[in-house]
């Protein structure tokens, strides 16, 4: 009898868990592409983190029926790794389950949804050297992705631009500083020896 009651409770709990959460996975290949996203970057452009800017615009595809965006509450625009910069890097890997997807790791802007929008973005100082495109997601009231748009094609081959990160550059400066100081040390030793020889 106790066992039966327990199993009834278990079943009730399972039903609650099933209905309340965990929420259903959002699959990228199921998302409608309703936003038209463009950026002022051209294919092959090289942008410097912390310095260069581009402007991104998004607009709801006007051939959609009215009200198609009724549940869009927020638009989130992101910088996303192009396939060439994901190769052999599982920490940037794409996953159709958007909770596990690591393609788009950097927020360009997140704001209340409007059917058209525009934002000027200065490439953030922490963006690493890589190839990128821009993607925008429309989020519903619960923050779940319900639609998207991107600057590249489905295969992510067009309109790819490059970012040169700050760490890459500082490492370069750092190395030349080491080389330079090593060289001046050698030069100093050289002149010291020459001067000493002259004195004799
Ligand atoms: C807009 O939507 C229509 C109908 O779904 C589609 O045929 C068209 O390609 C879309 N336009 C763009 C620029 O994505
Ligand atoms: C993407 O690549 C596949 C296979 O290489 C090709 O069949 C398809 O036409 C491509 N799609 C686009 C949108 O370029």
* pLDDT at site 188: 74
* pLDDT at site 190: 72
Measure CA 174 to chain center: 27
C-alpha 34/C-alpha 138 separation (Å) is: 9
Please, where are the H alpha helices in the chain? Answer: 2-20, 166-199
* pLDDT at site 181: 72
Q: How far is CA 109 from CA 47, 93, 118, 126, 137, in A?
A: 18, 22, 10, 15, 11
Give me the count of residues in the chain.
Answer: 200
Given a cut of 70, the residues of the chain with pLDDT beneath it are 1-23, 168-180, 183, 199-200
- Which ligand lies nearest the alpha carbon of 152? 2
pTM of the model: 0.76
Copy the structure tokens of residue 63. Answer: 């051939």
Contact by Cβ (8 Å): 74, 139: yes
* Dist. CA 56 → ligand 1 center (Å): 19
C-alpha 84/C-alpha 13 separation (Å) is: 46
**124-145: pLDDT as tens digits:** 999 999 999 999 999 999 999 9
- Which ligand lies nearest the alpha carbon of 156? 2
Q: How far is CA 6 from CA 9, 17, 172, 187, in A?
A: 5, 16, 66, 85
* pLDDT at site 107: 97
Contact by Cβ (8 Å): 34, 68: yes
Q: What is the CA radius of gyration of the chain?
A: 27
How many alpha carbons lie under 13 Å from residue 25 in its C-beta half-sphere?
11
Cα-Cα-Cα-Cα torsion 114, 118, 120, 121, nearest 10 degrees, comes to 60
* pLDDT at site 174: 62
C-alpha 1/C-alpha 17 separation (Å) is: 24
Contact by Cβ (8 Å): 162, 46: yes
C-alpha 57/C-alpha 98 separation (Å) is: 23
* pLDDT at site 162: 97
* pLDDT at site 114: 95
* pLDDT at site 192: 73
Residues with CB under 6 A from ligand 1: 36, 61, 63
Contact by Cβ (8 Å): 147, 138: yes
* Dist. CA 153 → ligand 2 center (Å): 9
- Delineate the domains of the chain, giving CATH numbers in brackets: 24-167 (2.60.40.1930)
* Dist. CA 89 → ligand 1 center (Å): 33
């Amino acid at each position: 009898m106790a066992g039966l009651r327990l199993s009834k409770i278990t079943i009730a709990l399972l039903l609650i868990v099933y209905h309340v959460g965990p929420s259903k996975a959002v699959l990228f290949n199921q998302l409608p592409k309703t936003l038209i996203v463009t950026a002022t970057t051209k294919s092959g452009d090289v942008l410097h983190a912390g310095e260069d800017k581009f402007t991104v615009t998004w607009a709801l595809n006007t051939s959609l029926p009215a009200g198609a965006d009724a549940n869009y509450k927020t638009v989130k625009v992101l910088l996303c790794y192009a396939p060439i910069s994901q190769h052999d890097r599982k920490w940037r890997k794409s996953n159709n389950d958007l909770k596990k997807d690591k393609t788009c790791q950097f927020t360009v802007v997140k704001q209340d949804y409007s059917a058209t929008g525009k934002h000027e973005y200065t490439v953030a100082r922490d963006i690493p050297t890589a190839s990128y495109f821009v993607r925008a997601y429309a989020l519903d009231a619960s923050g779940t992705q319900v639609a998207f748009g991107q600057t590249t094609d489905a295969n992510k081959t067009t309109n790819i631009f490059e970012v040169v990160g700050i760490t890459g550059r500082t490492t370069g400066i750092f190395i030349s500083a080491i080389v330079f100081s090593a060289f001046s040390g050698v030069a100093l030793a050289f002149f010291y020896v020459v001067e000493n020889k002259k004195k004799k």
